[in-house]
Amino acid sequence: MELPTIVVPDAYTVETISIPLPTADVPSYKMIIVPPSDLERPAGTEEIKTETPDPPKLEIPVLDIKLPLPTAEVVATATYAAVAAVATTTLATPFFDQIKKKLQKFIQGKINKWKENHQKKKEKD
């Protein structure tokens, strides 16, 4: 009696892909040193006083009012904002006018068409 046999081939070696480990750039920050709340000046040193000039004022002699004038930074910022607003408005106005005219014609056409259809329905009734 002959028993059936199975011939099993030799095992294949499957090569695996080499995947490198991921790396990340971890942010680093400079340490902030906060002085303690009870910090005092060392003995034997004197306080240095810095004088800041008073902001310029506009005097109105009739009313006896002194109006403080804004700093150069404030004036520059306001000027830039005003110029940008005027330029944007000046450049955008023609485009909006064209869009407005076309929309008005379109909507008026739809209204006229609706009126015609409405009159035709009344005449049929």
Domain boundaries, the chain: 69-118
User: Whose CA is closest to 69, among 83, 53, 81?
Assistant: 53
* pLDDT above 80: residue 125: no
List, for residues 86-95, the tens digit of each pLDDT value. Answer: 999 999 999 9
Residue 115 pLDDT level (bands cut at 50, 70, 90): very high
Is residue 57 a contact partner of residue 69, using CB atoms and an 8 Å limit?
yes
pTM: 0.39
List, for residues 10-51, the tens digit of each pLDDT value. Answer: 888 888 888 899 898 888 888 888 888 888 888 888 888 888
Q: Which residues contact 57 (CB under 8 A, 6 or more apart)?
A: 66, 67, 68, 69
Average pLDDT value for residue range 110-125: 89
CA 123 to CA 85: how far, in whole Å?
A: 55
| pLDDT at residue 113 in the model | 94
Judged by DSSP in three states, 29 sits in coil
Q: What share of the chain is helix, strand, coil (3-state, %, to 5)?
A: 40, 5, 50
List, for residues 65-106, the tens digit of each pLDDT value. Answer: 888 888 888 999 999 999 999 999 999 999 999 999 999 999
Per the model's pLDDT, the better-predicted residue between 63 and 79 turns out to be 79
| pLDDT at residue 66 in the model | 86
Per the model's pLDDT, the better-predicted residue between 81 and 54 turns out to be 81
